[in-house]
Amino acid sequence: MSLLIHRHIKTVLFSDKDIKAKIGDRLFPIVAPEGISLYPYVVMKRIGSNPDMSKDGDFETTDVRLTIVGKQYTETVELADLIKKVLIENCEADYKDFMVLDSEFVPSSDGEDWDDVQNCYVELMDFNFETT
């Protein structure tokens, strides 16, 4: 159930004490609140899904982009690396409404940028999640 993938991401990230210590509750769907002043934070956005119905069962591959935003370059990059590691290590989960069967980092998608408006560093990462 690709529409519910945010539950998995939130559960995994908030379960890691190091990530939780860095971002607190600052994990936002689609866009960060206007005027946010606490950093770092993470924005998650579902950017696509592809259903697959086969003899092995029905599942979907859901593409999600995570945007990590911070005031310090090193802090932002290290947080992005930690998030990547934690999401890959916790690639399987069983929830009431759906299952996560696998997760994959999409290496060609990562990038970094500078936000001139907020004066902050931005790390972009895409993941594919296989769900039921």
Q: What is the pTM of this model?
A: 0.91
- Asked whether 66 and 28 are in contact (CB, 8 A), the reply is no
Q: Which amino acid is at 52?
A: D
Burial class (CB in 10 A: 0-12, 13-18, 19+), 125: buried
Report helix, strand or coil for 107. Answer: strand
What confidence tens digit (pLDDT) does each residue in 73-99 have?
A: 999 999 999 999 999 999 999 999 899
CB neighbours of residue 56 within 10 Å: 7
Tell me the mean pLDDT per 10 residues along the chain, length 132.
87 98 97 95 93 71 96 97 97 92 86 92 96 89
